[in-house]
């Protein structure tokens, strides 16, 4: 993106909610669990796997966190009833991390136990750097308590990630590796696109060397190529890694990767709390700056007319 594009995209929070909702519809399954089920059925029919996310983050009351944990119970019920090929992704702030570490741990354990009962798997999303230590600590605690059906996310833009991979190696972790979406200071994060890519490759190599199960989460063609080479060089079988993409992004490319024989998982968010997630997706869409500029100018002209 050019500097001008970035400046325009930073104005997104000023764009009216209905406009954001319209532009971001492709990234969200819908507001109800039935919407998510329908989308996952379609993905499964195309040979793709899914991970379902109940939208909600930075909640402010304990009851909200509990109701999100409860919503995951409903998701597992649907996964089982509809025979969906899907696991789930959770955000720890949605389970109360911002309110109390212990409450969040209890909610997370609850979700992971429900998943185990249904032979399912829970991926803990990674949020901004204020949550990294607690997230990795909770992941280790759960694994050391014997929960095998849980994985975590590491962000290649953080300088600490290479060290975190080595610190986690004894767990033979299940890791989704992504670039990282949260804006972080240069003291702790690479901010240059090439530096982030270089660290992604370095971290991916380290994960594959430690025999971690890796979900390579990127739409970046250069990185997809690097990942496919690394996987081929190590002779990994189809069930020893997966590629991951977001709903609504590079769908045709995802189909090609499935046709080439790779396991590919799509992140499927649903729920009423669609706004924060939508903003993050729109901020990453290279076409968004022009679209916002046109829509905003259109509104202003419309109002003036
Ligand atoms: C399955 C999955 C789970 C994720 N989980 C987390 C997480 O837990 N924590 C976290 O911090 N981040 C997460 N992310 C987001 C990730 O960190 C990146 O911000 C995001 O994937 C964009 O980086 P990229 O590697 O695709 O490269 P980019 O350079 O951003 O994108 C490469 C190309 O993909 C296309 N593209 C990318 N995004 C869009 C979009 N929104 N709309 C249209 N086209 C687009 C464009 O063609 C772009 O040129 C996740 C990403 C995926 C795929």
Structure confidence by residue, pLDDT tens digits, 243-266: 999 999 999 999 999 999 999 999
Residue nearest atom 21 of ligand 1, based on CA coordinates: 218
Is the shortest distance between the CB of 246 and ligand 1 below 6 Å?
A: yes
More confident position, 186 or 276: 186
More confidently predicted of 278 and 34: 34
- pTM for the whole thing? 0.94
Q: How far apart are CA 271 and CA 287, in angstroms?
A: 25
Provide the pLDDT confidence category of residue 219 given band limits of 50, 70 and 90: very high
178 alpha carbon – ligand 1 mean position (Å) = 7
Which residue is catalytic, options 105, 125, 164, 281?
125
Q: Which atom of ligand 1 is nearest to the CA of 91?
A: 8
Centre of ligand 1 to C-alpha 135, Å, is 20
Which residues lie below 8 Å from residue 33, measured CB to CB, with a gap of 6+? 71, 74, 75, 78, 270
Q: For 46-90, what is each residue's pLDDT tens digit?
A: 999 999 999 987 788 999 999 999 999 999 999 999 999 999 999
208 compared with 15, residue with greater pLDDT: 208
102 is catalytic: no
Cβ of residue 101 lying under 6 Å from some atom of ligand 1: no
- State which ligand 1 atom lies nearest to the alpha carbon of 280: 41
Residue pointed to by tokens 């059906």: 149
Taking a C-beta distance cutoff of 8 angstroms, is the pair 230, 177 a contact?
no
- C-beta 201 within 6 A of ligand 1: no
What spacing in Å lies between the alpha carbon of 246 and ligand 1's midpoint?
7
Q: Which of 5, 200, 249, 282 to mutate to test the pocket of ligand 1 (most atoms within 8 A of CB)?
A: 249
User: Which residue's CA lies nearest to atom 39 of ligand 1?
Assistant: 285
Share of the chain above pLDDT 90, in %: 79
- Measuring from atom 3 of ligand 1, which residue has the nearest CA? 217
Is pLDDT above 50 for 304? no
The CA distance from 215 to 190, in Å, is 21
* 176 among known catalytic residues: yes
Regarding the beta carbon of 123 and ligand 1, being less than 6 Å apart is answered: no
d(CA 140, CA 158): 19
Which tens digit of pLDDT belongs to each residue from 155-185?
A: 999 999 999 999 999 999 999 999 999 999 9
Whole-angstrom distance, CA of residue 94 vs CA of residue 81: 25
In this structure, what are the phi and psi dihedrals at residue 217, rounded to the nearest 5 degrees?
-105, 90
| Ligand 1, atom 27: closest residue by C-alpha | 220
Catalytic residue among 105, 123, 143, 176: 176
User: Distance between CA atoms of 278 and 281, rounded to whole angstroms?
Assistant: 5
Looking at every residue in the chain, the average pLDDT score rounds to 92
Q: What is the largest CA-CA distance in the chain?
A: 66
């Amino acid at each position: 993106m050019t500097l001008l594009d970035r400046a325009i995209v930073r104005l997104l929070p000023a764009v009216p909610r209905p406009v954001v909702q319209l532009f971001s519809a492709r990234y969200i399954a819908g507001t109800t669990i039935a919407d998510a089920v329908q989308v996952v059925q379609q993905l499964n029919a195309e040979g793709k796997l899914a991970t379902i996310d109940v939208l909600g983050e930075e909640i402010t009351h304990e009851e909200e966190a509990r109701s999100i944990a409860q919503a995951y119970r409903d998701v597992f019920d649907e996964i089982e009833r509809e025979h969906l090929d899907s696991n789930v992704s959770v955000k720890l702030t949605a389970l109360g991390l911002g309110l109390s570490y212990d409450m969040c741990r209890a909610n997370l354990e609850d979700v992971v136990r429900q998943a185990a009962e249904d032979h399912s798997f829970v991926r803990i999303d990674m949020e901004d750097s204020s949550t990294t230590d607690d997230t990795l600590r909770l992941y280790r605690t759960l694994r050391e308590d014997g929960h095998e059906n849980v994985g975590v996310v590491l962000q290649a833009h953080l300088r600490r990630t290479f060290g975190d991979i080595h610190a986690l190696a004894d767990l033979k972790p299940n890791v989704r590796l992504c670039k990282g979406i949260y804006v972080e200071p240069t003291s702790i994060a690479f901010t240059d696109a090439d530096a982030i890519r270089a660290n992604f490759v370095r971290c991916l190599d380290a994960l594959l060397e430690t025999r971690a199960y890796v979900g390579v989460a990127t739409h970046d063609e250069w990185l997809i190529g690097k990942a496919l080479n690394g996987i081929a060089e190590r002779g990994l079988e189809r069930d020893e890694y997966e590629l991951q993409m977001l709903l609504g992004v590079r769908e045709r490319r995802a189909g090609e990767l499935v046709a080439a024989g790779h396991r590919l998982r799509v992140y499927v968010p649903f729920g009423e709390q669609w706004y924060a997630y939508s903003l993050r997706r729109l901020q990453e869409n290279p076409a968004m700056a022009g679209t916002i500029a046109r829509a905003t100018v259109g509104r202003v002209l419309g109002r003036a007319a």
